Amino acid sequence: MARKPKVTREALQGALIGALDPLRGVRAAWEQGAASFGRVDEYSDIDLIVIVEDDGVEEVFRAVEDTLDYRFGIADKYRIPEPAWHGHSQCFYWVKGASPYLFVDMAVEKASSKNRFLEYSIHGPPVVRIDKGVVSDDSPGAEEFARKLEDRLEALKTTFRLFQVEVLKELERGNGIEALAFYNAMTLRPLVEVLRIKYCPWRHNFNTRYVYYDLPSKVVKDLEKLYFIRNAKELAERRAEADKWFWEIADSIELKDVRKLLAKAARRRG
């Protein structure tokens, strides 16, 4: 029988907030990810976002690392080189005695930053741990978002039509690995996005993240068949199936229905 980890989620959460709360520069701290959607389980990590005065970023990292090391011992960590894609500072921590799934993913954002991941319709409502007048919903309006999706849908139709040839030519050349890479990028990724526009438009660009929660189970089952491929011959067959499905979905999307879904989600959020 596997030994139960000694460090619990609650103990780790308490240590993190205990390290952050006394810091005068910390304006807010909240959890997102599984916590925002009520889906925390034994495999969930802690997705923590911290807002701090612009000159306090390194103080936050020092305080958190000192506390984790003192309370549990830091087994490993990785800080993303900057500038990161999102413009913030981010580090991952694993502590001794915790499940390997229970790591800390901490993003530290300067107070002057505008990109805070506080769009509730997209990222879910935050589980607030500290708030000094910072945390509020920053979701775009449904009508504004629908107009962007209308443009995005047209771009997807154009690029899908033009770039299926990338998969086909590598299959003809016998370059199965390259064909598979193009299939994932040029066939499946846009297919998933049009499915998301149809069924969960707020998270249209999340690719396969949360796909088992965001899309109907029948749709996910059909996607699994397209993703799990044995050989190049089957790849060619699945690409043709995906091509047909893409156009069925893309051509069936009515922007008025997308607007209704967006508005319904916004009302539920409010």
CATH 1.20.120 residue ranges for the chain: 142-269
What is the three-class DSSP state of 190? helix
Segment 181-198, tens digit of pLDDT: 999 999 999 999 999 999
Tell me the C-alpha distance between 140 and 153, whole Å: 18
Looking at residue 4, what is its pLDDT? 66
Query: What is the CATH class of 142-269?
Result: mainly alpha
For the stretch 94-105, pLDDT in tens is: 999 999 999 999
Q: Is residue 265's pLDDT more than 90?
A: no
d(CA 121, CA 237): 37
Strand positions, DSSP E, the chain: 26-32, 46-52, 74-79, 89-95, 104-110, 127-131
Nearest CA-CA partner of 108 in 172, 64, 44: 64
What global pTM score does this model have? 0.90
CA distance 187 to 164: 7
Q: Name the band, by pLDDT with cuts 50, 70 and 90, for residue 256.
A: confident
Average pLDDT (32-59) is 96
Quote the pLDDT of residue 1: 47
Task: Note the pLDDT of residue 153.
Answer: 96
How much is the pLDDT for 188?
Answer: 98
137-147 confidence digits (pLDDT tens): 998 888 889 99
- Residue 66: what residue type? D
- How large is the average pLDDT for residues 148-174? 97
pLDDT in the model for residue 114 = 86
Report the percentage of the chain scoring pLDDT > 90. 87
Pinpoint the residues of the chain covered by CATH 3.30.460.10: 9-131
Interatomic CA distance for residues 113 and 116, integer angstroms? 7
- pLDDT tier for residue 269 given thresholds of 50, 70 and 90: low
Q: Span 9-131: which CATH code? A: 3.30.460.10
- Provide mean pLDDT across the span 241-261: 92
> Of 87-101, 177-191, 201-215, 254-268, which range is least confident?
254-268
- Choose among 180, 192, 193, 197: nearest CA to 239: 180
Which residues pair with residue 31 across a beta bridge? 48, 127
